[in-house]
Amino acid sequence: MSGSIKPIVIQAGSRGYEVCRVEDDEWATLTDSLAIEEPLEIRIVQTIDGTKCESPISVTMRTPGDDTELALGFLLSEGLIRSASDIEGVRLCSKGSIVRVYLPAHCRIDTERLRRHFYTSSSCGVCGKTSIDAVTVHIQQPLEALPQAISPELIHSLPDKLRATQRLFDSTGGLHASGLFSTSGELICLREDVGRHNALDKLIGSQSYADDSRFSESILVVSGRVSFELVQKALVAGIPVLVAVGAPSSLAIDLAERHQMTLIGFVRNQRFNIYCGQDRIRRRR
């Protein structure tokens, strides 16, 4: 076996590599399945005054799959469009590296407000933005009350339910997940990606195509920590409860509290922390 790592198997969302594993001084050759990370460019296409205009909006490093949902979710969660009805169509190029979103001429995109550098890493969608003002998108509506309070038992069950449906994580161990659940604990939708913000954009894009009215009565569960951007995207979608396996950042807590979101972290070993929005959680009598 040579010293280089060679891709030898390709499947949806993951790629097999021939590697050398060392364990207790024993060397063995085996195939390790890893998450694919590749760039996707999102472009806006409009015909204005008879002229076709195509503008690049962002490049994000993502796991291929659900790319049109990712593009739609990105535009929605960044506040660039208000709903899926704002778009005329979405097309993925034949090579799978560019998504073109077609908008009517009257739908104006304020790209200066977005202020992204042209590259966004998979680990953080905020890193490329030039100022904190640029990442604070307009939250269009207040969060609604849930149809019923959530029990602690339900919250404890959600990470395991999320993990049980992570198809690509089982084979790669290197993907984030965002799952949307009903207040009775039923999984509505799940998306995975190497970037936690991409996984959420895919989820938002998928449900915006289907039925975005469910956001206001749902629980968002994420597999890792909670950044400012995840809270922001959930707020733009109108999701009132965010549950995380990991820790939130201070800025994420500040934003969630400002908009009266219920933010829960460190859900593990039969305990969790409620950082804000306690009124949506049912107390044991």
Q: How far apart, in whole angstroms, are the C-alpha atoms of residue 166 and residue 175?
A: 9
Tokens 């509505």 correspond to what residue? 188
pLDDT of residue 166: 78
Is 198 annotated for ligand binding?
no
Is 62 annotated for ligand binding?
no
pLDDT of residue 218: 95
Provide the pairing of β-strand 241-244 with 51-62: unpaired
E-strand ranges in the chain read: 6-11, 14-23, 26-35, 38-48, 51-62, 89-92, 98-102, 176-182, 187-193, 218-222, 241-244, 262-268, 271-276
Q: How far apart, in whole angstroms, are the C-alpha atoms of residue 171 and residue 239?
A: 30
DSSP β-bridge partners for residue 180: 189, 220
Provide the pairing of β-strand 218-222 with 241-244: parallel
DSSP β-bridge partners for residue 61: 39
CATH number attached to the domain at 38-135? 3.10.20.10
Is 232 annotated for ligand binding?
no
Which has more confidence, 12 or 270?
270
Q: Where do the structural domains in the chain lie, given as residue ranges?
A: 6-35, 38-135, 152-280
Task: Give the pLDDT mean for 3-21.
Answer: 65
The model's pLDDT over 230-248, given as tens digits with 9 standing for 90+, comes to 999 999 999 999 999 999 9
In angstroms, the Cα distances linking 268 to 59, 103, 158, 223, 243 are 34, 43, 10, 11, 11
Q: Indicate the average pLDDT of the chain.
A: 83
In angstroms, the Cα distances linking 157 to 148, 153, 221, 281 are 17, 6, 11, 14
CA 285 to chain CA mean position, Å: 36
Q: How far apart, in whole angstroms, are the C-alpha atoms of residue 123 and residue 197?
A: 8
pLDDT of residue 223: 92
Which has more confidence, 102 or 213?
102
- Hey, what are 110's tokens? 């304020």
DSSP state of 281: B
Topology alike, domains 38-135 and 152-280: no
Residue 238 backbone zone (phi > 0: left; psi -120 to 50: alpha; other: beta): left
The model's pLDDT over 75-132, given as tens digits with 9 standing for 90+, comes to 999 888 888 889 999 999 988 899 999 999 888 776 665 544 444 455 555 554 544 4
- Hey, what are 57's tokens? 């909006």
Amino acid sitting at position 174: G
Which has more confidence, 206 or 80?
206
- Hey, what are 216's tokens? 């206001």
Q: Give catalytic residues, as residue numbers.
A: 124
Is 271 annotated for ligand binding?
yes
Confidence of residue 183 (pLDDT cuts 50, 70, 90): very high
Task: Give the pLDDT mean for 273-285.
Answer: 88
- Select from 3.40.309.10, 3.40.140.10, 3.40.50.300, 1.10.3720.10 the CATH code of 152-280: 3.40.140.10
- How much is the pTM? 0.83
